[in-house]
């Protein structure tokens, strides 16, 4: 009986903690990546990521890979079909939390943060960290930051004939405006 009381107590603490979290959902977000070599630089932008964030510092991103837009349509086609294989791997996902400051608390004003978690892209999961800012103004939260990924870490191959045009290191920038999720 004592064992069940402890389990019930732990479950109620978890649910009370979860219930007291405010969830913010993206209303305007974009992710941009840049590839830069000595010979060529290009970028793509995606205006359709879905982002959720809690006032406790938990964060999730889902980015539809086929929504990246390039300046040249041929680059977009090669990106979708040859590199990212978007029909097989339609989304890139990130799930993590604020790790610095250690006792994160969402408050009015701007805070510099470091976020760590797992990114899943091209069927590969990898632990990553990103630095950025979180700014709360009344009911709106604005997040921004950047980080680098290595294509080779996600088993994305660069053909030998393109090795001088496409960098293995891609810089990713993100910005998002989030509003409180409405209760149903």
- Closest by CA to 107, choosing from 143, 145, 138, is 138
Interior angle at CA 44, CA 43 and CA 50, nearest 5: 140
pLDDT bracket for residue 67 (50, 70, 90): very high
**Cα–Cα distance, 44 to 73 (Å, whole number):** 11
- The pLDDT assigned to 82 comes to 87
**Cα–Cα distance, 161 to 88 (Å, whole number):** 24
Q: What is the pTM of this model?
A: 0.82
Mean pLDDT (the chain) is 88
- Closest by CA to 89, choosing from 60, 68, 115, 58, is 68
Q: Give residue-wise pLDDT tens across range 22-50.
A: 999 999 999 999 999 999 899 999 999 99
Q: Give residue-wise pLDDT tens across range 103-151.
A: 899 999 999 999 999 999 999 999 999 999 999 998 899 999 999 999 9
Contact 93, 107 (CB under 8 A): no
- The pLDDT assigned to 46 comes to 97
Omega before 115 within 30 of 0, i.e. cis: no
Contact 170, 146 (CB under 8 A): no
Contact 136, 98 (CB under 8 A): no
Element (H, E) at 126: strand 124-137
- The pLDDT assigned to 139 comes to 87
The answer as to CATH 2.40.128.110 being correct for domain 22-180 is: yes
């Amino acid at each position: 009986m004592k064992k069940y009381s402890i389990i019930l107590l732990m479950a109620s603490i978890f649910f009370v903690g979860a219930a007291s979290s405010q969830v913010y959902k993206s209303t305007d977000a974009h992710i941009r990546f840049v590839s830069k070599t000595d010979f060529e630089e290009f970028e793509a932008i995606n205006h359709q990521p879905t982002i959720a964030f809690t006032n406790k510092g938990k964060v999730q991103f889902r980015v539809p890979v086929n929504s990246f837009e390039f300046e040249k349509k041929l680059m977009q086609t090669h990106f979708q079909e040859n590199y990212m294989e978007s029909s097989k791997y339609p989304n890139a996902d990130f799930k993590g939390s604020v790790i610095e400051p250690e006792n994160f608390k969402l408050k009015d004003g701007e805070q510099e943060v470091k976020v760590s978690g797992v990114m899943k892209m091209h069927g590969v999961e990898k632990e990553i960290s990103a630095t950025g800012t979180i700014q709360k103004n009344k009911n709106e939260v604005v997040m921004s930051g950047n980080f680098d990924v290595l294509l080779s870490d996600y088993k994305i191959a660069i053909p030998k004939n393109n090795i001088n045009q496409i960098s293995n290191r891609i810089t990713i920038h993100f910005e998002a405006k989030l509003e409180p999720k409405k209760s149903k």
